[in-house]
């Protein structure tokens, strides 16, 4: 599999499913009220992420401005900046100061970690930082794998805000180890935990060993005057090209996101291939070095073209190359500058690898963290640079797709300030790609599905609850709710809703598209406008981890939106005691129109399950789940308990049930469990709903799920 295909699989992109290229078209952006080409726009409100018209010739630059003390400057205006391309002044068409807050996760006081949400929504537009952590297993020594884990985990635990998104990619192509964009720290940490370096032995050590092997041969008395070749040179070049191709593909994929800073965190010991040795050596070695050098240029060009900043982190920190130094020294004294062996060769090798990290960072507006153990300071600086910055955009005087590099220089009229931005971009070559026509979904819906981050145009809420199905599959109930006030509900209007479940290999394992027409009676139209409507779908998936992507489009309103959902499907057959997803409905939630229901839940809940987790105080909840009992042995009982706890951990509701294994019949092997929860005695505020099942066999087997809910002031009926 090619590097490009491996990367697409790692991130589970669904552009192939929906049949259009990733990216934002000028037509769709124009519908969102963007300025026409060449027309200046009003400054965006501070704190919002700007949206710009996206066309081939459009150039966007994010700019960091600091004062003499290194502090970020946040009060500049468009008139304070000048932009030059290839030395020629450019007209700033769009300008914004982005100021992203640091948000804390909503954590109950009695828990060390937040409760992972069981629903997802785009009601609140995404307004956080965007990171892709590239874990360079191809250029990390296996014995130093833990250093990469420690550094990456440190960033996730201490520097990833609740409103940020991060994805993890491996350069070695292990798509099942990677992680799609999420703010779930547990999933990110699980991905990092799988890291194992596979870096080749030092080229200097390889040459040193080859030196002594050849020296022992009688016809090689003049070794000191000869160049010793690295026996693993071809594989070293292959690994270098794979890492650079991964960087390029991430940058290309990032190019579809506009109006915000996009960041790669490259955890790597540096590309250890000597790209300076193009002329010397035999022809094959020179050709490989030339190819690697070209890949460096392509990676930088892709990053600058997509306005992506690379921050390289050498996980070794402050190092004396201890293990490699001992290994080289143990071979004896063969330090000869002419053949690049010994300790001098080892030092040159480290300098070269770190120089490559610096080049990738410096050329793209980031910085490299090498030869230091102060990762905390570097990570804090990365967060700061991605929290407050200016976004400037212009239409260049020439928009030829000639593949030439165009240098960008940003200046400020205010003296004493330092500016950092990308140094330029490489224009694309050839004809602009055009999205294919036709397909089962509209171009706007396909765009929303293919977006790397949630799209907030059309608001929605989503839940996905796994239940035991026909082995080896689980049965997934997917609920999608569209926000009524965001729908046009035009006569004979059309609404499209589509979903796709993508596994860790990037393969779509389930997916469907529904089309609805909005020919509604006046009373139903009013009800939908007030409460929205929901659709339920059921599909089968094998146990595993999936990235669920849901998108919807209102054709009459011309808006689309999307939501992403981290779906983990348990293997219910292998668990001694298992618990399905939890379905919740309420009296208030039952007012929402259900355009498509699920027959299997009609008999177990008084109304269709809902995705909202906010309930008025005068509401009542109804909950349903299944407990799967695979314990062998004597007849036994299982206790099922539902509690609601305050933020401080005080139990304010408790319901207990007792089930007997003699109830189990057939292959299903599960207890259906339902409970009603009145909320009238709960004060408005945040709570944790906890459902737990525990066996009485004395083997301490139990399972549970927690859901964060919020009680709001009571809703009074209109007079």
User: 12: which 2 tokens?
Assistant: 């589970």
> Is a pLDDT exceeding 50 seen at residue 330?
yes
Q: Within 13 Å and on the Cβ side, how many CA atoms surround 428?
A: 13
Q: Give the range among 19-28, 138-147, 681-690 with minimum mean pLDDT.
A: 19-28
The yes/no answer on whether domain 125-385 falls in CATH 3.40.50.2000 is no
- What's the pLDDT band for 22 if we cut at 50, 70, 90? very low
pLDDT at 687: 97
SS3 state at 621: strand
pLDDT at 337: 47
pLDDT tens digits along 480-535: 999 999 999 988 889 999 999 999 988 999 999 999 998 888 899 999 999 999 99
Higher-confidence position of 259 and 197: 197
What per-residue string of b and e applies to 623-657 under the rule 16 or more CB within 10 Å gives b? Answer: bbbbbbbebeeeebebebbbbbbbeeeeeebeeee
SS3 state at 524: helix
> Is a pLDDT exceeding 80 seen at residue 205?
yes
pLDDT at 28: 29
Name the percent of the chain lying above pLDDT 90: 60
Helices and strands (DSSP H and E) totals, the chain: 14, 32
> Is a pLDDT exceeding 60 seen at residue 218?
no
Residue 204 near residue 345, CB atoms below 8 Å: yes
> Is a pLDDT exceeding 70 seen at residue 257?
yes
**Tokens 């009688």 label which residue?**
218
Annotate 446-479 with DSSP letters as a single string: HHHHH-SS--BSS-EEEEEEEEE-STT-EEEEEE
Q: What's the whole-number mean pLDDT along residues 52-75?
A: 79
Q: At what angle do helices 145-159 and 185-193 cross, to 10 degrees?
A: 170
pLDDT at 323: 59
- What's the pLDDT band for 17 if we cut at 50, 70, 90? very low
Looking at domain 1-24+442-569, which of 1.10.3720.10, 1.10.1760.20, 2.60.40.10, 3.40.50.2300 is its CATH number? 2.60.40.10
**Which DSSP letter does residue 435 get?**
P
Reported pTM: 0.86
Q: At what angle do helices 342-362 and 322-329 cross, to 10 degrees?
A: 150
Q: Give the range among 14-28, 442-456, 579-593 with minimum mean pLDDT.
A: 14-28
SS3 state at 373: coil
φ and ψ at 207, to 5 degrees?
-65, -40
Residue 135 near residue 172, CB atoms below 8 Å: no
Q: Where are the domains of the chain?
A: 1-24+442-569, 34-100+395-426, 125-385, 575-719
> Is a pLDDT exceeding 80 seen at residue 97?
yes
pLDDT at 463: 98
Higher-confidence position of 30 and 306: 306
Q: What is the mean pLDDT of the chain?
A: 84
Residue 102 near residue 161, CB atoms below 8 Å: yes
575-719: CATH topology is Coagulation Factor XIII; Chain A, domain 1 (2.70.50)
Annotate 43-68 with DSSP letters as a single string: PPPTTSPP-----TT-EEEEEEEE-T
User: 326: which 2 tokens?
Assistant: 């001992």
Round to whole Å and give the CA distance between 711 and 696: 34
Q: What's the whole-number mean pLDDT along residues 17-33?
A: 27
Q: What's the whole-number mean pLDDT along residues 373-380?
A: 95
């Amino acid at each position: 599999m090619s590097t490009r295909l491996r990367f697409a699989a790692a991130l589970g992109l669904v552009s192939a499913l929906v049949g259009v290229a990733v990216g934002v078209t000028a037509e769709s952006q124009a519908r969102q009220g963007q300025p026409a080409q060449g027309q200046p726009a009003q400054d965006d409100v501070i704190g919002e992420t700007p949206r710009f018209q996206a066309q081939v010739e459009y150039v966007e630059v994010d700019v960091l401005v600091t004062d003499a003390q290194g502090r970020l400057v946040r009060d500049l205006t468009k008139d304070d900046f000048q932009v030059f391309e290839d030395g020629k002044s450019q007209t700033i068409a769009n300008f914004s100061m982005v100021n992203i807050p640091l948000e804390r996760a909503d954590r109950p006081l009695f828990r060390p970690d937040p409760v992972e949400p069981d629903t997802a929504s785009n009601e609140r537009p995404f307004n956080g930082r965007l990171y892709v952590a590239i874990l360079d297993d191809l250029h990390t020594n296996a014995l130093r794998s833990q250093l990469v884990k420690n550094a990456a985990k440190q960033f996730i635990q201490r520097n990833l805000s609740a409103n940020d998104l991060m994805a993890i990619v491996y350069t070695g192509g292990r798509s099942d180890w990677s992680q799609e964009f999420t703010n779930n720290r547990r999933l990110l940490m699980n991905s990092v935990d799988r890291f194992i370096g596979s870096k080749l032995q030092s080229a200097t050590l390889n040459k040193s060993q080859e030196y002594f092997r050849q020296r022992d041969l009688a016809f090689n008395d003049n070794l000191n005057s000869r160049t010793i070749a690295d026996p693993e040179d071809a594989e070293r070049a292959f690994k270098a090209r794979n890492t650079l191709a991964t960087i390029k593909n991430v940058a290309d994929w990032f190019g579809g996101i506009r109006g915000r800073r996009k960041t790669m965190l490259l955890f790597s010991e540096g590309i250890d291939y000597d790209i300076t040795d193009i002329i010397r050596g035999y022809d094959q070695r020179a050709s490989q070095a030339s190819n690697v050098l070209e890949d460096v240029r392509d990676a930088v060009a892709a990053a600058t073209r997509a306005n992506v900043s690379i921050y390289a982190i050498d996980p070794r920190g402050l190092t004396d190359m201890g293990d490699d130094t001992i290994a080289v020294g143990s071979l004896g004294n063969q330090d000869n500058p002419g053949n690049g062996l010994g300790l001098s060769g080892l030092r040159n090798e480290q300098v070269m690898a770190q120089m490559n990290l610096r080049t990738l960072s410096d050329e793209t507006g980031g910085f490299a963290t090498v030869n230091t153990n102060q990762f905390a300071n570097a990570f804090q600086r990365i967060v700061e640079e991605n929290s407050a910055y200016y976004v400037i955009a212009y239409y260049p005087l020439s928009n030829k797709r000639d593949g030439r590099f165009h240098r960008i220089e940003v200046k400020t009229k205010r003296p004493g300030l330092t500016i950092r931005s990308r140094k330029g971009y490489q224009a694309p070559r050839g004809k602009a790609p055009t999205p294919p026509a036709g397909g089962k979904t509209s171009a706007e819906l396909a765009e929303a599905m293919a977006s790397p981050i949630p799209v907030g145009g059309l608001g929605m809420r989503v839940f996905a609850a796994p239940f035991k199905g026909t082995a080896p599959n689980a049965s997934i109930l997917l609920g999608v709710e569209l926000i009524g006030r965001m729908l046009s509900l035009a006569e004979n209007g059309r609404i499209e809703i589509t979903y796709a479940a993508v596994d860790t290999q990037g393969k779509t394992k389930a997916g469907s598209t529904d089309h609805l027409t909005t020919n509604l009676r006046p009373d139903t139209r009013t009800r939908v406008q007030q409460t929205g409507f929901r659709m339920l779908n059921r599909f089968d998936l094998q146990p595993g981890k999936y990235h669920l992507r849901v998108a919807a489009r209102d054709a009459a309103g011309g808006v689309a939106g999307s939501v992403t959902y981290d779906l983990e499907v348990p293997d219910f057959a292998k668990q001694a005691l298992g618990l399905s997803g939890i379905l919740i409905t309420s009296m208030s939630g039952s007012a929402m129109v259900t355009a498509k229901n699920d027959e299997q839940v009609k008999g177990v809940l008084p109304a269709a399950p809902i995705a909202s987790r906010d309930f008025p105080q005068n509401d009542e909840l109804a909950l349903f789940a299944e407990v799967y009992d695979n314990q062998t042995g004597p007849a036994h009982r299982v206790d099922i308990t539902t509690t609601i706890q305050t933020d401080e951990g005080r139990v304010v509701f408790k319901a207990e049930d007792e089930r007997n294994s003699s109830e189990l019949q057939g292959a299903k092997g599960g207890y259906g469990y339902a409970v009603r929860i009145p909320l009238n005695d709960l004060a408005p505020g945040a709570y944790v709903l906890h459902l737990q099942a525990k066996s009485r066999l004395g083997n301490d087997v139990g399972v549970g799920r927690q859901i964060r809910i919020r009680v709001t002031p009571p809703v009074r009926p209109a007079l």
